[in-house]
Amino acid sequence: MGTVISITSGKGGTGKTSITGGVAAALALMDHRVLCIDMDIGLRNLDITLGLNDRALMDFSDVALGRCPLARAAVEHPDLKGLALLTAPMSLPASLTADKVRALLSTARTVYDYILIDSPAGLGPGFRLAVCGADRALVVATNDASSLRDAQRTVAELEDLRQVHLVMNRIQTRLLRKLRATIDDAMDAAGLPLMGVVPEDPQVILCANLGQPLAVRGRKGAALACWNIALRLEGQRVPIMKMR
């Protein structure tokens, strides 16, 4: 049975979508069957990050509401074998419930090794749908105080999950000495173990504009960080990357 992982943060602009696409691509390149589900209803961008813009005709609500089977709605990546996308609707259907999302995820578990959910910003209805059937969560935060506070609030909403980890994103190496304390404080305040530290990297914007997931750009910078997160999800012990 596949594992469902929600990538969330509470605050918008932390880089959840690039992390989702990068880790998903790395897992697919490790010969896993991976389904990305964009649950950022109305503001979806995961299709752009994965290079699948305008390919998705049906969305996850069509599957959850029985209008379309998963096999038809999930768009296979043309270049990354095993990677597929289930995109988000432009609005939240009133009939879409947590139970229906859980049923969708139960079906996906039988087909895919990993199901990665790109959660929307905030802690509203979209967030609750994105985490309702998850086995574990990655909470993405940056080093600014508001992001760390929102990460802590998000953790409080995830108390039913056994495995919740912190990913610190967009870390600037020139400020690393000062930020070490920030990362430690974030881990202590949120009570979360650290899953990864992702450096600020211009390749992130380049990849987004090219429609290429980070992991396909090699194993340096943010791409390497995504590979390392994927390996840790697999249970491998990988040291946090050194940044100078």
Where do the domains of the chain lie, and which CATH numbers do they carry? 3-233 (3.40.50.300)
pLDDT, one tens digit per residue, over 96-144 is 999 999 999 999 999 999 999 999 988 999 999 999 999 999 999 988 8
The model's pTM is 0.93
- Cβ atoms 63, 86 nearer than 8 A: yes
Let me know: does 19 contact 198? Beta carbons within 8 Å. yes
Tokens, residue 58: 């049906």
pLDDT band at 193 (very low <50, low <70, confident <90, very high): confident
State the pLDDT at residue 55: 80
CA distance 134 to 105: 9
Computed over every residue of the chain, the mean pLDDT equals: 89
Three-state DSSP at 117 gives: strand
| Gap between the Cα atoms of 85 and 62, Å rounded | 14
